[in-house]
């Protein structure tokens, strides 16, 4: 899932200054799971904004909505009636959701209420850990199911480096050494042999370095005619 | 002054009920909202109480380790902390909000809580959001 | 001979080799490098120039290497994967080679959060093992990693680091083997204080016959005081400093002299370990002591 964290209220107040009719828009997917932008967080933030408006004499009129997935046009289109007449949408979705809203409502200013942090998973309740670097060329089969690109501070493919000590990364005792975990994982599955072969330089072409990425699923692509039949915009 | 107390059915509400039965004098400025368990309390509820004019809000749940639903009071305490952070940032200050733990037979303590929060609200002054008239 | 460097000749001839480290200055003047060059000339076969050490911007290792070459000293250019991608690394190696650099030490590099510019974006396009693979292809096949032909291939003697004191311990020898497979001709180790652990590591190295496939130079670093030793033990990840060493420095009436003496003793001990072909002396901000250490350790027979 995509993990995000709400921006400090101070920053949100600054972004909103100069706006009047505000829609706080949440998302029920990833960011709801990480307690950052679901229905509950939307209601709390909206209430905080109303309090702030009264106390600091801001003309803010705050309404709220939470949709199923803010990254998909269909759900964001359904926000239409509430977006109408607003001059800012404070998006509590990830950056993807915020951009989808902006594309559909180009005249309205979409403000990010969250910082989108990483792709991760809950390690324990309330703790979310980055797990995937989204490099576009997965090599978990070589690394015992632990991603060195996301989990090693240096994204080493032939680690662990000389800074690994007692299973901890050199950057901080709080950070586990990914390669220490990889070595142990491969040992446990009896595949330590995979550690012996140097992994050659990786192609980053499939990663962000290759330019913005676009994934096409041929079976899901529909023709112009089908699109018209469905009444969708081109 | 208007003081809102969120209380749980098992601890806080029972203690206040007992205070009434024992004819302990409670400040009339205090209004209670009783929940089956404080686990249901949301940060938004606390904020809304302030928006609607409360001068102070308290949350009173079971004694620590004694929640009828195991962790409701612990969850509530975390939310009170979160609400305090928000109140601080919106500029209302965190002193108008407090968390207490009461057992059902602590009627005297219920009276103390109510009086303490009224006293504190008086010290800080009326809420700028209060609906007067 | 792969590169014809002094270091390669010394190691290939079987003579116990010495390398020493010089830290490039945080300065736009090469004066300090020249001072070090004058002080240290003749005391080692080659001199390592660190690459933005501890993730702080310093004079580039290649520029410093050229200064050393002008003064008749042989450089070992350290290259980390932290700050440059494969395009820059290969380009810099061609340039360094054209200017006379033969020895290159391939490193991952300290993470930038150690330095004074923690907020910097790191690169790590390659890791140290991949850098070895890339540079070996340039030398042996006369090609860039992409396969593009080089007009003239660089003559390189390729080095890598090994840290027997990092974890997991058993993996350290596998990693050394991997570096050899990737193209390492010589290895310089992390500074050694825990002799027992080092010998345990060396026996695993010999068990796999790795000491016959690569020249291993044992790293030493003289300590100035027990406080430095404590810092190394507690703050530097991947360092082992036994308490006996810290105590010896604490008790010494002249800790600096004691530190030098200990370093000399360590070199003498390391020299006798089977498979050790030389010593690498690191004395950051204490470079002027290196000639004395070399002399007192009885290594002064260098060219």
Distance CA C170, CA A180 (A): 11
Q: Does A225 touch chain C (CB under 8 A)?
A: no
CA nearest to B48 within chain A = A47
Q: Does C130 touch chain A (CB under 8 A)?
A: yes
For residue A50, the chain B residues in CB contact (below 8 A) are: 51
Give the nearest partner residue to C111 out of A158, A170, A196, using CB atoms.
A170
End-to-end CA distance of chain B: 12
Task: Say whether B42 and A44 touch across the interface (CB within 8 A).
Answer: yes
Name the residue with tokens 């006293």. B119
Name the residue with tokens 């979705």. A93
- In A7-161, where does DSSP find H-type helix? 9-16, 30-33, 39-56, 73-77, 80-83, 95-104, 148-151
Give the nearest partner residue to A171 out of C111, C124, C129, using CB atoms.
C111
pLDDT at B133: 39
Instruction: Output the tens digit of pLDDT for each of chain A's 234 residues.
Output: 999 999 999 999 999 999 999 999 999 999 999 999 999 999 999 999 999 999 999 999 999 999 999 999 999 999 999 999 999 999 999 999 999 999 999 999 999 999 999 999 999 999 999 999 999 999 999 999 999 999 999 999 998 999 999 999 999 999 999 999 999 999 999 999 999 999 999 999 999 999 999 999 999 998 888 888 877 665
Task: Say whether A9 and B50 touch across the interface (CB within 8 A).
Answer: no
What pLDDT digit, counting tens, does each position of B19-61 carry?
889 989 899 999 999 999 999 999 999 999 999 999 999 999 9
Give the nearest partner residue to B129 out of A44, A48, A54, using CB atoms.
A54
Cα separation values, C302 from C18, C23, C137, C208, C281, Å: 8, 22, 32, 31, 14
Give the nearest partner residue to B91 out of A8, A43, A55, using CB atoms.
A55
Task: Say whether C163 and A197 touch across the interface (CB within 8 A).
Answer: no
Nearest to A112 by CA among A30, A28, A5, A3: A5
Burial label for C131, CB within 10 Å (0-12, 13-18, 19+), is: buried
Give the nearest partner residue to A165 out of C113, C126, C167, using CB atoms.
C167
3-state secondary structure of A21: strand
Work out the average pLDDT over B85-112.
94
Give pLDDT < 70 ranges for chain C.
300-303
Distance from the Cα of C239 to chain A's closest Cα (Å) equals 8
What pLDDT digit, counting tens, does each position of A53-71 carry?
999 999 999 999 999 999 9
Task: Say whether B129 and A55 touch across the interface (CB within 8 A).
Answer: yes
Q: Does C177 touch chain A (CB under 8 A)?
A: yes
Task: Say whether B92 and A40 touch across the interface (CB within 8 A).
Answer: no
Chain A / chain B CB contacts < 8 angstroms: 43
Q: Does C126 touch chain A (CB under 8 A)?
A: yes
Q: Does A14 touch chain B (CB under 8 A)?
A: no
- In chain C, where does DSSP find H-type helix? 6-13, 31-40, 61-70, 86-98, 128-141, 169-182, 195-207, 226-235, 243-251, 255-271, 290-296
Handedness of CA B82, B86, B87, B88 (dihedral sign): positive
Nearest to C284 by CA among C54, C108, C128: C54
Task: Say whether A198 and C130 touch across the interface (CB within 8 A).
Answer: yes
Give the nearest partner residue to C111 out of A153, A183, A199, using CB atoms.
A153
pLDDT at A232: 65
Distance from the Cα of C130 to chain A's closest Cα (Å) equals 5
Task: Say whether A171 and C124 touch across the interface (CB within 8 A).
Answer: no
Q: Tell whether the model's pLDDT for residue B9 goes beyond 70.
A: yes
pLDDT at C236: 86
pLDDT at B131: 65
Distance CA C266, CA A53 (A): 71
Task: Say whether C125 and A153 touch across the interface (CB within 8 A).
Answer: no
**Which pTM value belongs to this model?**
0.92
Q: Does C269 touch chain A (CB under 8 A)?
A: no
C 209-238 residues inside an 8 A Cβ radius of A: 237-238
Q: What percent of chain A shows pLDDT beyond 70?
A: 99
For residue C130, the chain A residues in CB contact (below 8 A) are: 157-158, 198-201
Distance CA C260, CA C221 (A): 9
- In B28-132, where does DSSP find H-type helix? 43-51, 72-90, 107-124
Q: Write down which chains contact chain C via at least 3 CB pairs under 8 A.
A: A
Q: What is the mean pLDDT of chain A?
A: 95
Give the nearest partner residue to A47 out of B47, B89, B91, using CB atoms.
B47
Q: Does C168 touch chain A (CB under 8 A)?
A: yes
Q: Which residues pair with A52 in a beta bridge?
A: none
Q: Does C144 touch chain A (CB under 8 A)?
A: no
pLDDT at A106: 97
Name the residue with tokens 């300290």. C110
Distance from the Cα of C63 to chain A's closest Cα (Å) equals 26
- Judging contact as 3 or more Cβ pairs under 8 Å, the answer for C and B is no
Chain A / chain C CB contacts < 8 angstroms: 104
Q: What is the mean pLDDT of chain B?
A: 92
């Amino acid at each position: 899932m995509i993990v995000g964290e709400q921006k400090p209220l101070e920053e949100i107040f600054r972004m909103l200054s100069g706006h009047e009719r505000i829609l706080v828009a949440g998302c029920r997917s990833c960011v709801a799971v990480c307690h950052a932008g679901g229905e509950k967080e939307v209601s709390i933030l909206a209430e905080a904004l109303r309090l702030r408006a009264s106390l600091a004499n801001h003309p803010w009129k705050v309404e709220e909505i939470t949709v199923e997935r803010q990254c998909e046009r269909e759900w964001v289109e359904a926000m239409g009636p509430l977006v109408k007449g607003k001059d800012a949408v404070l998006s509590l979705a990830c950056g993807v959701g915020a951009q989808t809203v902006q594309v559909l409502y180009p005249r309205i200013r979409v403000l990010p209420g969250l910082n989108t942090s990483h792709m991760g998973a809950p390690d324990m309740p309330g703790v979310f850990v980055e797990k995937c670097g989204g490099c576009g060329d997965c090599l978990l089969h070589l690394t015992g199911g632990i991603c060195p690109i996301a989990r090693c501070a240096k994204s080493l493919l032939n680690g662990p480096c000389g800074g690994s000590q007692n299973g901890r990364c050199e950057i901080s005792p709080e950070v586990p050494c990914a390669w220490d975990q990889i070595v142990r994982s491969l040992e446990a599955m009896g595949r330590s042999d995979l550690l012996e072969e140097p992994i050659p330089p990786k192609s980053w072409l499939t990663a962000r370095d290759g330019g913005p990425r676009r994934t096409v699923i041929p079976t899901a692509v529909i023709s112009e005619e089908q699109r018209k039949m469905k009444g969708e915009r081109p | 002054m208007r003081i809102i107390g969120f209380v749980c059915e098992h601890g806080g509400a029972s203690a206040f009920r007992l205070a009434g039965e024992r004819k302990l004098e409670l400040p009339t400025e205090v209004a209670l909202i009783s929940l089956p368990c404080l686990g249901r309390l949301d940060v938004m509820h606390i904020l809304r109480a302030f928006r609607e004019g409360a001068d102070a809000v308290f949350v009173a749940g079971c004694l620590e380790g004694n929640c009828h639903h195991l962790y409701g009071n612990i969850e509530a305490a975390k939310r009170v902390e979160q609400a305090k952070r928000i109140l601080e940032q919106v500029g209302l200050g965190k002193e108008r909000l407090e968390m207490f733990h009461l057992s059902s037979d602590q009627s005297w303590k219920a009276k103390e809580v109510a009086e303490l929060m009224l006293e504190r609200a008086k010290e800080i002054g009326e809420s700028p959001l209060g609906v007067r008239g | 001979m792969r590169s014809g460097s002094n270091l390669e000749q010394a190691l290939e001839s079987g003579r116990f080799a010495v390398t020493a480290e010089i830290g490039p200055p945080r300065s736009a003047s090469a004066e300090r490098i020249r001072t070090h060059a004058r002080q240290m000339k003749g005391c080692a076969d080659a001199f390592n120039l660190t690459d933005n050490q501890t993730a702080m911007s310093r004079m580039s290792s290649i520029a410093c290497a050229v200064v050393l070459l002008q003064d008749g000293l042989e450089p070992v250019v350290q290259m980390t994967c932290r700050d440059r991608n494969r395009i820059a690394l290969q380009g810099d190696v061609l340039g360094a080679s054209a200017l006379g650099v033969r020895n290159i030490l391939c490193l991952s590099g300290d993470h930038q959060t150690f330095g004074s510019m923690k907020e910097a974006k790191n690169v790590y396009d390659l890791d140290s093992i991949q850098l070895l693979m890339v540079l070996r292809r340039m030398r042996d096949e006369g090609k860039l990693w992409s396969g593009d032909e080089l007009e003239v291939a660089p003559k390189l003697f390729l080095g890598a680091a090994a840290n027997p004191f990092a974890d997991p311990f058993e993996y350290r020898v596998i990693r050394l083997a991997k570096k050899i497979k990737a193209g390492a001709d010589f290895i310089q180790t992390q500074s050694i204080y825990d002799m027992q652990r080092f010998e345990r590591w060396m026996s695993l190295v010999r068990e796999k016959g790795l000491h016959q496939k690569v020249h291993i130079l044992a790293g030493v670093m003289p300590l100035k005081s027990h406080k430095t030793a404590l810092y190394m033990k507690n703050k530097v990840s991947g360092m082992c400093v036994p308490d006996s060493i810290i105590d010896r420095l604490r008790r010494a009436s002249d800790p600096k002299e004691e530190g030098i003496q200990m370093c000399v003793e360590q070199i003498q001990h390391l020299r006798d370990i089977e498979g050790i072909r030389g010593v690498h002396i690191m004395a950051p901000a204490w470079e002027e002591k290196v000639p004395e250490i070399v002399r007192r350790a009885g290594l002064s027979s260098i060219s």
